[in-house]
Structure 1
Amino acid sequence: MAENLTIQTGTKESQYKSLLPQIKALIEGEDDLIANLANISAALKAQFNFFWVGFYVVKNEELILGPFQGPIACTRIKKGKGVCGSAWAESKVLIVPDVEKFPGHIACSLDAKSEIVLPFYRNGTIVGVLDIDSDTLNSFDSVDKEYLTQLLAYLN
């Protein structure tokens, strides 16, 4: 198990290419989902200094706050509500360049400006979402989607 991260500078893509193998080594052999989500959150926060990065886990037909890095957050989100609930309901990645323009956006923090939410799966079933917020507009794109999707495949 890796216990340290090497923080990479450069393009977003080069940062992901350096970080993903490190995260894979960090969680490899650990079967506790919460422990892995905690380390993934910490690694993403350390590398990219996102405003907020964390997980919501499906429990009893709603998303419950899981491990995260950043300011306090909403604890429960209903299916189809906000960006996280919509990504869960639609079973797809949502990239929101300006959260103020997303219908039904749940403002856990007024400082969040853009967001990406990706569902993650175990045995073909969505078990939660990765939620990343930025305090600047238009922070997320297809590069984030590609590499974060690869990262979440490690949890399956």
Structure 2
Amino acid sequence: MNLSALQPQVQSLIETHKSNPDAAMQGICDLLQAEVAHYDWVGFYFADHDKRVLHLGKFAGEPTDHTTIPFGKGICGQVAESNANFVVPDVKAQDNYIACSITVKAEIVIPLFKDGLNIGQIDIDSNTIDPFTAADEEFLTWVNAQLAEIL
């Protein structure tokens, strides 16, 4: 799948649901999981900076027990602190990884910024080892920037 081909659909979801960000996020999760073969689980986590935890928002894929993640814990928690993209080609090689499913082989987490503050992130799990490229990072960074406009 050419990720840039999904941009008009993402823009349409955001435009259609600009007064309902939750619906936009659910639509984005559903779209990405359905259209990108190596996106097996797609979800948004949002930061509670006072409590230093992330809370799971909308997602597509198998339900997870990890609905709350402390800052610093796992890939998502590390991104909450670093404010940087984190691509994990093989989760077995990561010491600070929270296993969501035995089928997950790789993960990519891209922070979501609003007015310069890291308010959350998009988290994608893949059941394929090392599937993520620079194109995934660029596309997901773009998705977050578009979404931030309605948050």
Q: What's the TM-score once normalised by structure 2's chain length?
A: 0.89
Question: By how many angstroms is 1:33 displaced?
Answer: 2.7
Alignment-derived partner of residue 145 in structure 2: 153
1:114 to 106, 117, 125: 106
SS at match of 2:57: strand
Counterpart of 1:53 in 2: which secondary structure? strand
Instruction: Report the equivalent of 1:4.
Output: none
Match of 1:24 in 2: 11
Cα distance, 1:70 vs structure 2: 0.8
User: What is the count of residue pairs matched by the alignment?
Assistant: 143
On the 8 A contact 1:96/1:114 being kept in 2, the answer is: yes
**Identity level (%):** 38
Deviation per residue, 1:79-120 (Å, 9 max, x gap): 011001111110010000001111210001111000100010
Amino acid at match of 1:106: I
Q: For residues 91 and 124 of structure 2, what CA distance do their matches in structure 1 show?
A: 12
What SS does the aligned partner of 2:120 have? strand
Q: Secondary structure at the match of 2:147?
A: coil
Instruction: Tell me the equivalent position of 2:25.
Output: 37
**Structure 1 unaligned blocks of 5 or more:** 1-11
**TM-fit CA distance, 1:144:** 0.3
List runs of 5+ in structure 2 lacking aligned partners.
Answer: none
| TM-score, normalised via structure 1 length | 0.86
1:51 pairs with one of 28, 40, 51: 40
Q: Is the 8 A contact 2:14 2:21 kept in 1?
A: no
1:22 CA displacement = 1.3
Tell me if structure 2 keeps the 8 A contact 1:122–1:155: no
- CA-atom RMSD, angstroms? 1.3
1:143 aligns to what? Answer: 135
1:34: how far off? 1.9
Q: Which amino acid aligns with 1:23?
A: V
1 or 2 for the larger relative contact order (CA 8 Å, sep ≥6)? 2
